[in-house]
């Protein structure tokens, strides 16, 4: 385990240096693309008969449980770190767009993408049962907060647009995970479908997670306010994240939502009322470093995963079809709520739907959920298509959202 961690950290450091020194892309995009190029080089070497390096790389990557590493390891830390730097008042100003897109939008997108997949994929020779099409819809619907927050830092987007995209991405992954688990339970025969049961489970997970995050955040805020020692306060924030996420799992409530709420609590009220300037500086530095380091590790892993995945011509063709299909579904599931909210007096620019659609980047959470499916031909197809969509989303959408913002909105900070 130590050797594996040492290799990943070393690769992350090397790729980050190369990107910063010679390429200059946003860190998340740069390290992923470099690791992807290295992976493709290893695959090409294997294809021409240089097999030792591929076997070595495969032996390093194959034992890594990507789903466990992200969902049970990195995710809690990354969500808390991201939420800490979101202004709660600005988030509250856009509570209706964020809330609707993160809940109804995810559920609607699940069924739109699932239905389209069921109709279109057989044309290219991939026959998925409808329940697996819905699983694909659920796992590819959420915008990834880890990818989104990293990319928005360098996109120079208007603050209102940044808050909407970041706020939606912070909350919609928790909803999507619950929807995915419900559909997976139905597919496995461990759950029976009922509207009341689904609504109850969603409420338990989402509301329960929010309540737990608020209670734990308030408790740590109260304790921080009673002392002035930045070492202890940083340690308390780390305990809040790791202990709180583990407790959420035991209580069967949403750990991601709990961490977002706790991060908002500590990052806003805690920073304003419970910390001295010295503590605030050290806490911000610590969580910024955690965010940057784990992001580098995660996106190196995403790039390296291609070494162990199974691809075929059918999967590649399906992926090329799925990319615009997912974008159209996103456009529909953003456009309808935005139109309704605009009619009710909420302020959006004419370009809001375009920017929210293109800025809805998919990332590691989608890959992790796909890899959590039990081994089957359906899983192989879903994992391959999901992986290619995520690569496109991070690389193409991530690199072009900044220019798109500047072209559509200019340099003004218009509301979006």
Taking 80 as the threshold, does the pLDDT of residue 204 lie above it? yes
Q: State the pLDDT at residue 50.
A: 76
Does the CA dihedral 242-247-249-252 come out positive or negative?
negative
**pLDDT tens figures, 97-127:** 999 999 999 999 999 999 999 999 999 999 9
Band of residue 192 on the pLDDT scale cut at 50, 70, 90 = confident
Looking at residue 378, what is its pLDDT?
A: 93
What per-residue confidence (pLDDT) applies to 97? 93
Question: Using an 8 Å Cβ cutoff, are 348 and 338 in contact?
Answer: yes
Q: What angle do CA 97, 102, 107 make, to 5 degrees?
A: 120
Q: Mean pLDDT across the chain, nearest whole number?
A: 91
Local confidence band at 415 (pLDDT 50, 70, 90 cut-offs): low
> Mean pLDDT lowest for which of 201-205, 312-316, 370-374, 387-391?
201-205
Range of weakest confidence among 34-48, 51-65, 233-247: 51-65
Under 8 Å between Cβ of 315 and 385: yes
Q: 46 or 211: whose pLDDT is higher?
A: 211
**Three-state DSSP class for residue 49:** coil
Decide if pLDDT at 413 tops 60: no
Q: Is the pTM of this model over 0.85?
A: yes
Contacts of residue 336, defined as CB under 8 A and 6 or more positions apart, other chains included, come to 108
DSSP 397: I
pLDDT of the residue at 383: 96
Confidence of residue 338 (pLDDT cuts 50, 70, 90): very high
Gap between the Cα atoms of 224 and 206, Å rounded: 27
Q: What per-residue confidence (pLDDT) applies to 351?
A: 87
Task: List pLDDT tens digits, range 213-261.
Answer: 999 999 999 999 999 999 999 999 999 999 999 999 999 999 999 999 9
Element of type H or E holding 390:
helix 377-392
pLDDT digits (tens, 9 = 90+) for 375-400: 899 999 999 999 999 999 999 999 99
Instruction: Kindly report the CATH class assigned to 65-409.
Output: mainly alpha
Cβ distance 31 to 397 under 8 Å? no
**HSE (side-chain half, CA atoms, 13 Å) at 404:** 17
Residues 6+ apart with CB under 8 A from 221: 265, 266, 269, 270, 273, 274
What is the pLDDT, as a whole number, of residue 416?
Answer: 59
Residue 144 φ/ψ, nearest 5 degrees: -85, 120
**CA–CA dist 100, 351 (Å, integer):** 19
Query: What kind and span of H or E run contains 158?
Result: none
Average pLDDT value for residue range 317-323: 97
Which pLDDT tens digit goes with each residue over 325-335?
999 999 999 99
Dump pLDDT digits (tens) for 261-284: 999 999 999 999 999 999 999 999
Helix ranges restricted to H, 19-127? 27-47, 51-61, 66-69, 75-84, 88-93, 95-102, 104-120
364 three-class SS? helix
pLDDT at residue 310, as a whole number: 83
The pLDDT tens digits for 144-186 are 877 777 777 666 777 888 888 889 998 998 889 989 988 998 8
Among 286, 260, 37, CA closest to 149: 260
pLDDT at 414: 55
Domain ranges of the chain: 65-409
Whole-angstrom Cα distance, residue 35 to residue 41? 10
**Residue appearing with tokens 């979006």:** 416
């Amino acid at each position: 385990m130590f050797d594996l961690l040492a290799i990943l950290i070393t690769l992350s450091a090397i790729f980050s240096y190369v990107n910063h020194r010679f390429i200059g892309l946003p860190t998340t995009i740069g390290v992923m693309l470099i690791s992807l190029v290295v992976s493709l080089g290893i695959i090409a070497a294997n294809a021409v008969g240089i097999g030792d390096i591929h076997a070595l790389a495969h032996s390093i990557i194959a034992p890594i449980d990507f789903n466990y590493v992200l969902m049970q390891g990195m995710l809690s830390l990354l969500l808390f770190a991201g939420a800490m730097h979101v202004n709660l008042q600005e988030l509250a100003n856009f509570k209706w767009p964020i809330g609707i897109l993160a809940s109804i939008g995810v559920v609607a997108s699940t069924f739109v993408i699932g239905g389209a997949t069921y109709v279109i994929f057989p044309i290219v020779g991939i026959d998925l049962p409808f329940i697996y099409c819905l699983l694909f819809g659920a796992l590819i619907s959420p915008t990834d907060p880890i990818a989104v927050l990293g990319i928005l830092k360098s996109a120079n987007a208007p603050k209102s647009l940044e808050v909407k995209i970041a706020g939606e991405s912070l909350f919609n992954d928790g909803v999507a995970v619950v929807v995915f688990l419900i559909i997976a339970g139905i597919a496995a025969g461990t759950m029976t479908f009922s509207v009341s049961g689904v609504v109850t489970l969603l409420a338990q997970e989402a509301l329960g997670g929010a309540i737990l995050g608020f209670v734990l955040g308030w408790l740590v805020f109260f304790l921080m306010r009673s002392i002035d020692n930045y070492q202890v306060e940083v340690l308390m924030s780390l305990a809040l994240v790791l202990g709180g996420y583990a407790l959420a799992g035991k209580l069967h409530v949403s750990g991601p939502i709990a961490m977002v709420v706790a991060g908002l609590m500590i990052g806003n009220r805690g920073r304003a009322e419970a910390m001295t300037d010295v503590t605030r500086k050290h806490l911000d530095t610590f969580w910024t470093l955690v965010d940057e380091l784990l992001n580098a590790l995660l996106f190196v892993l995403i790039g390296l995963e291609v070494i162990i995945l199974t691809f075929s011509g059918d999967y590649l063709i399906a992926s090329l079809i799925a990319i615009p299909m997912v974008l159209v579904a996103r456009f529909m599931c953003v456009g309808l709520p935005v139109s309704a909210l605009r009619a009710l007096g909420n302020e959006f620019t004419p370009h809001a739907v375009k920017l929210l659609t293109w800025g809805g980047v998919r990332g590691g959470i989608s890959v992790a959920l796909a890899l959590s499916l039990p081994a089957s031909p359906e899983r192989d197809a879903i994992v391959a298509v999901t992986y290619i969509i995520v690569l496109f989303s991070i690389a193409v959408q991530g690199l072009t959202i900044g220019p798109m913002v500047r072209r559509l909105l200019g340099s003004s900070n218009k509301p979006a």
